[in-house]
Structure 1
Amino acid sequence: MAREHARVEWPPNEERREMLRRMFRIRFFEERASSIRVEAKLPGVLHNSIGQEAEIVGACMALRAVDYMTGNHRSHGHPIGKGAELPPLMAELFGKKTGVCRGKGGSMHLAAFSVGSLGESGIVGSLMPVAVGAGLSARLRGTDQVCLCFFGDGAANCGPFHESLNLASVWKLPVVFLCENNGYAIHTSQAQTTAVADIAQRASAYNIPGVIVDGQDVLAVYDVVSMAVAQARSGAGPMLVEAKTYRYCEHSEFGEPADPPPYRSESELVLWREKDPIEIFCARLEEAGHLSREEIETMRKEVLSEVDEAVAFAERSPVPEPHELHDDVYV
């Protein structure tokens, strides 16, 4: 039976500040990318994670710099949460050669090896076996690295989910599987597609722990993922963590009707807006005396400037040359 996790410990002061800074970076990066796409400056599609910043940052901050991470199609935030710089990420969205994938990956295929981000994919669930491979690699090389694997509730109904959890459990690999359960696979609610109420319940089928955590609470996520990472690093095997979260934006920002189908009620949106993870964390920091309102506002302005600089970097960067088409594709 999956259990809920509620214990929360304050991380050190510098980590608390960095948590908030990275949450701001994700929110402002994606808001800016969205506005630029409306201006038709970005090619392709955007899948933003606005509203999910706490579970991304809380989980990534529980890792070491040398640990690995895999994302999914909604993954601008994951490399940011792991510590990647904004300019190369923004340049990748623009399709520029200074991007993290030299302009060939785009929004759904970011990879930032410098921070251990092994990649993302538009194919739902496809990075789960990659995460298992990263865990196996660490085992074979004799390191104590851990791989954090992000996936959505929709991916939990795909074959790679079951294959990956089973193999990781059998071999006791150092992988933490984190389900970002925002309640919807595109426009379809979890209740319409999934027999169990909680994805974490499925952990018992693979003889691993399953834990549910409030995905809007960055400290709670940090706490439970730290516990899962410690278990994985010790050789005790994987854990399945389910973060209950929500996306405020639509599934994607390209190719959808101007008025999306009414799959979410206005009252539901209002309820989750009241659980804004950034506002919750700011209030807790201020209440505990860790950061003043002035310090928080200063940080907001600093991060907005970082995003401005990232956009300027992307705009002045060159596009890839035609002769570079096959570079980095074949060995």
Structure 2
Amino acid sequence: MSAVGDIVHMYREMRRIRAFEDRLMDLKAGGEVPGSMHLTNGQEAIAVGVASILRPDDYVTATYRGHGWAISRGSDLTGLFAEVMARSGGVNGGRAGSPYFSDASINFLGENSIVGAGVPIAAGAALSAQRHGQGQVSVVAIGDGATNQGAVHEALNLAAALTLPMVLVVENNIYSEMVRIKDMTKIDQLAIRAEGYGIPGVTIDGNDPHLVAAAAAEAVERARRGEGPTLIEAMTQRLVGHHSGDAQHYRPRGEVAEAALDEPLQRIRNAADAALLSELDAVDAEVAAEIERAVDAARATELPDPNTAKDHVYA
């Protein structure tokens, strides 16, 4: 793939995530989406960059802000729309909604509404991969605030001690819910914490999918070689609230507008010449049409049968 082709590919994958989430907000405003959502607007380069270097059989675990991770791994857009819309055609039959879904067909182990709880799950997948010896890697994304959770420390310590093939991606969007992470820690960069586990830690620009891909490639190959986990801290900012009802009153005036000038999609457009801009505009139109087809198909699926409410529940 040419350099321009690679840029267009990355742009397309990020635009699909952005368009999916923007459309979700429209659907929610129209009463078609129950419950709250946690959107990834502005952070798309992280999931797309990491996904670009993974094998189909690698494992991925995300936070409740996981739409982008599932999409970047190839989850069906119709199935995702239907899931968030609580339709039977959803990837989990409409049972999980926005913050809880998983997709076994692509080894997406799922989201988790418990802060940091994805790391023990990912460590378990990494242990399984190590035992099977097929070179699989387990990637897990968490937010910056999750690095203060005990379960994260315990699981990462275990992964380091057992040299598990795991990569921890910290999506540092500056805010741990509504509080700045700098007000909750005594270190400037969270990647420093990797030293305490005896593993590599690196801080990167999380708004550049190519830089993310390069850092992820190094960490993933290290894991495949049997050299253990790596912590990647990807710096970014979200352009939306912590959840779909968050008015962001805690953010200084102008902060979101400034971040919007350097978010991943806009950054590519800022650097593009006229020919590339025309190509990117075409991508936008193609993605918009793809999104509408997926929404229409999701709407066409039935609502779940109440008689199946106890299916897949174990006691």
Q: TM-score, normalised by structure 1?
A: 0.91
Cα-to-partner distance string for 1:30-78 (whole Å, 9 max, x where unaligned): 0110111111211011111100011111111121111110000111111
Correspondence for 1:309 among 293, 298, 311: 293
Partner SS for 1:241: strand
- 1:243 maps to which residue? 234
Equivalence map 1:1-331=2 (5 Å): 15-254=6-245, 256=246, 259-261=247-249, 263-284=250-271, 286-287=272-273, 292-330=276-314
Partner SS for 2:151: helix
Residues 208/11 of structure 1: CA separation in 2 closer, same or farther (3 Å cut): farther
Shift of 1:11: 8.0
Shift of 1:268: 2.2
Contact 2:8 2:280 in 1 (8 A): no
Q: Unaligned 5+ residue runs, structure 1? A: 1-9
Separation in structure 1 between the aligned mates of residue 147 and residue 163 of structure 2, nearest angstrom: 20
Shift of 1:89: 0.5
Give the number of aligned pairs.
315
Cα-to-partner distance string for 1:241-264 (whole Å, 9 max, x where unaligned): 00001101011114x5xx543x21
Residues 184/225 of structure 1: CA separation in 2 closer, same or farther (3 Å cut): same
Partner SS for 1:176: strand
Identity %: 37
Counterpart residue type for residue 208 of structure 1: I
Contact 1:218 1:281 in 2 (8 A): no
Cα-to-partner distance string for 1:167-209 (whole Å, 9 max, x where unaligned): 1100111100000000111111101112211110100000000
Counterpart residue type for residue 294 of structure 2: A
Separation in structure 2 between the aligned mates of residue 314 and residue 330 of structure 1, nearest angstrom: 28
Separation in structure 2 between the aligned mates of residue 15 and residue 83 of structure 1, nearest angstrom: 18
Counterpart residue type for residue 304 of structure 2: P
Partner SS for 2:140: strand
Contact 2:260 2:266 in 1 (8 A): no
Q: TM-score, normalised by structure 2?
A: 0.95
Counterpart residue type for residue 295 of structure 1: E
Partner SS for 2:109: coil
Counterpart residue type for residue 132 of structure 2: R
Partner SS for 2:171: strand
Contact 2:194 2:231 in 1 (8 A): yes
Shift of 1:271: 2.5
